[in-house]
């Protein structure tokens, strides 16, 4: 047994991302093949409890306490840590029986080192990180109730595909009329958790800059007089602007982060990145037509808008994980707003999943169902992307794929 485990670990340590994922899936298949029906019942029936356990551990600051100590901690010491924690004020948990801790250890979220004594493992360290904690909150607090409603919703709607973002499971789960992405920003706590997890999505996997040939695409394009090189449309906290600038510090041209005010008010200043309010359902402000000279006194875009007339078209209009939030009619509206802003050198870069027609990975399939249930949208197959772009009167020039399980890709598009 030990030899087998060492062999698997060695294989994993030398594998690339694709190989590592293949190994994980193969190990899962072996595990399931060994299950008795009762094992299967046990595993599936308690899936809710696993994420509830993670939430509990986060609320009690257990993961931070263990990850912050090299040595194992006893339950009494852990309880004292929780009382001292600024994030769990007034909490005085009874850990004396170790029930929560032993459950978390039994499902691998921490490690039991002796009687009433625990230490961190790799999963503890993930759950001690604020952004991953945001993810646990997002999936437990906000997405969880949607999953619970999904079977009944689909039974009531005769299992039709969900394509209307005003009639998804979210309206039933939260007793609201608004589409998810209109309702969501009005929920500051939920929205903040979501933005946190957005910053770590795909962490550890290759990113789009590893495959997209930025310098080649920029070629002889000139940023003169004051053109934007990169507009991150609904870029959230601006992490892609940061990554782009870190990789290409010398490329000329302005960097612009656009989003809605509810998001931008949480974004700390980012050096070299101008922040601009832009609703993507309204005409894109950074556009090809230039009527007025540039006003050099304005070093950042005030909110709300400055005059759009003195802003020149951008080289790249980048949309990461935006179009998968919307059904086709809304995507077409977003894309048309961009198409009418583009000049002949502009390119739309869509950073989204491009699914194969068969053999979709479970991580992609679960995201797709979440999109359907919450937003009436879809993770599109290559065929669906081509059809959507044609309807938006755009032409796909290339598709650069950079992850294997999710098939994250950059779709490069121009007006037809």
Q: Decide: is 378 part of the binding site for ligand SAM (CB under 6 A).
A: no
Q: Identify the residue among 64, 207, 274, 325 touching ligand SAM (CB under 6 A).
A: 325
| Least gap, CB of 184 to ligand SAM (angstroms) | 8
Which residues, including other chains, have CB under 8 Å from residue 263's CB and lie 6 or more apart? 185, 191, 195, 234, 236, 237
Strands 228-233 and 316-320: parallel
Does residue 318 sit in helix, strand or coil?
strand
Q: Residue 64 or residue 351: which is nearer to ligand SAM going by CB?
A: 351
CA pair distance 221, 223, nearest whole angstrom: 7
Site for ligand SAM in 84-143 (CB under 6 A): none
Taking each continuous run of H as one helix and of E as one strand, the counts in the chain are: 19, 10
Q: Show the site string, 174-193: x = touches ligand SAM by CB under 6 A, - = not.
A: -------x------------
Does residue 257 sit in helix, strand or coil?
strand
Structure tokens at 245: 């600038």
CB 118 within 8 A of CB 72: yes
Which residues, including other chains, have CB under 8 Å from residue 345's CB and lie 6 or more apart? 221, 313, 315
Q: Residue 57 or residue 376: which is nearer to ligand SAM going by CB?
A: 376
| Least gap, CB of 231 to ligand SAM (angstroms) | 12
Task: Give the binding range for ligand SAM (CB under 6 A) out of 88-96, 231-239, 357-365, 379-387.
Answer: 231-239
Q: Identify the residue among 321, 384, 401, 404 touching ligand SAM (CB under 6 A).
A: 321
Q: Identify the residue among 32, 46, 281, 294 touching ligand SAM (CB under 6 A).
A: 281
DSSP 374-398: HHS--PPBHHHHHHHHHHTTEEEEE
Q: Decide: is 260 part of the binding site for ligand SAM (CB under 6 A).
A: yes
Q: Decide: is 327 part of the binding site for ligand SAM (CB under 6 A).
A: no
Q: Which helix (H) or strand (E) holds 319?
A: strand 316-320
Task: Give the binding range for ligand SAM (CB under 6 A) out of 39-47, 164-172, 273-281, 306-314.
Answer: 273-281
CA angle 207, 336, 381 (to 5 degrees): 45
Site for ligand SAM in 290-319 (CB under 6 A): none
| Least gap, CB of 181 to ligand SAM (angstroms) | 5
CB 150 within 8 A of CB 364: no
Cα dihedral across residues 8, 12, 17, 19: positive or negative: negative
Q: Residue 140 or residue 237: which is nearer to ligand SAM going by CB?
A: 237
Q: Decide: is 352 part of the binding site for ligand SAM (CB under 6 A).
A: no
Q: Decide: is 166 part of the binding site for ligand SAM (CB under 6 A).
A: no
Strands 228-233 and 254-259: parallel
Q: Identify the residue among 119, 142, 168, 263 touching ligand SAM (CB under 6 A).
A: 263
Task: Give the binding range for ligand SAM (CB under 6 A) out of 162-170, 243-251, 277-285, 362-370.
Answer: 277-285
Q: Decide: is 259 part of the binding site for ligand SAM (CB under 6 A).
A: yes
Q: Identify the residue among 60, 170, 198, 378 touching ligand SAM (CB under 6 A).
A: 198
Q: Identify the residue among 280, 316, 317, 326 touching ligand SAM (CB under 6 A).
A: 280
Radius of gyration from C-alpha coordinates of the chain: 24
Where does residue 44 fall: left (phi above 0), alpha (psi -120 to 50 degrees), or beta otherwise? alpha
Q: Identify the residue among 98, 135, 235, 327 touching ligand SAM (CB under 6 A).
A: 235
Residue 346 exposed, middle or buried by CB count within 10 Å (0-12, 13-18, 19+)? buried
CA pair distance 136, 71, nearest whole angstrom: 26
CA angle 367, 369, 370 (to 5 degrees): 60
Q: Decide: is 392 part of the binding site for ligand SAM (CB under 6 A).
A: no
| Least gap, CB of 238 to ligand SAM (angstroms) | 9
| Least gap, CB of 81 to ligand SAM (angstroms) | 33
Task: Give the binding range for ligand SAM (CB under 6 A) out of 78-86, 163-171, 203-211, 274-282.
Answer: 274-282
Q: By the criterion CB under 6 A, which residues form the site for ligand SAM?
A: 181, 198, 234-236, 259-260, 263, 279-281, 320-322, 325
């Amino acid at each position: 047994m030990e030899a087998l485990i060492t062999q698997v670990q060695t294989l994993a340590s030398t594998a690339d991302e694709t190989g590592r994922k293949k190994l994980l899936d193969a190990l899962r298949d072996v595990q399931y093949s060994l299950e008795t029906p009762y094992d299967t019942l046990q595993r599936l029936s308690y899936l809710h409890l696993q994420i509830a356990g993670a939430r509990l551990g986060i609320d009690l600051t257990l993961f931070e306490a263990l990850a912050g100590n090299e040595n194992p901690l006893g339950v009494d010491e852990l309880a004292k840590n929780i009382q001292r924690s600024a994030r769990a004020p007034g909490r005085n948990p009874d850990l004396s029986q170790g029930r929560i801790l032993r459950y978390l250890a039994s499902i691998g979220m921490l490690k039991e080192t002796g009687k009433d004594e625990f230490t961190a493992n790799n999963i503890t360290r993930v759950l001690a990180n604020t952004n991953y904690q945001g993810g646990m909150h997002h999936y437990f607090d906000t997405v969880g109730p949607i999953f619970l409603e999904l079977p009944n919703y689909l039974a009531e709607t005769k299992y039709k595909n969900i394509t209307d973002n005003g009639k998804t499971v979210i309206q039933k789960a939260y007793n609201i009329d608004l589409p998810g992405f209109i309702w969501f920003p009005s929920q500051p706590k939920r929205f903040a958790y979501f933005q946190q997890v957005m910053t770590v999505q795909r962490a550890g996997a290759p990113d789009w800059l590893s495959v997209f040939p930025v310098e080649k695409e920029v070629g002889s394009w000139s940023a003169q007089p004051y053109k934007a090189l990169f507009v991150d449309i609904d870029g959230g906290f601006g992490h892609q602007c940061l990554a782009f600038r870190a990789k290409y510090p010398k490329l000329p041209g302005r960097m612009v982060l656009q989003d809605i005010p509810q998001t931008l008010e949480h974004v700390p200043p980012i050096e070299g990145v101008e922040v601009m309010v832009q609703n993507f359902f309204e005409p894109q402000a950074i556009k090809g037509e230039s009527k007025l000279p540039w006003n050099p006194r304005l070093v950042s875009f005030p909110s709300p808008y400055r005059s759009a007339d003195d802003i020149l078209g951008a080289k790249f209009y980048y949309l990461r994980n935006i179009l998968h939030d919307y059904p086709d009619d809304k995507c077409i509206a977003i894309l048309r707003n961009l198409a009418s802003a583009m000049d002949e050198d502009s390119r739309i870069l869509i950073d989204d999943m491009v699914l194969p027609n068969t053999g979709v990975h479970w991580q992609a399939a679960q995201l797709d169902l979440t999109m359907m249930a919450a937003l009436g949208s879809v993770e599109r197959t290559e065929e669906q992307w081509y059809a959507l772009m044609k309807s938006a009167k755009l032409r796909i020039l290339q598709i650069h794929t950079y992850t294997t399980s999710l098939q994250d890709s950059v779709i490069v598009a121009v007006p037809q």
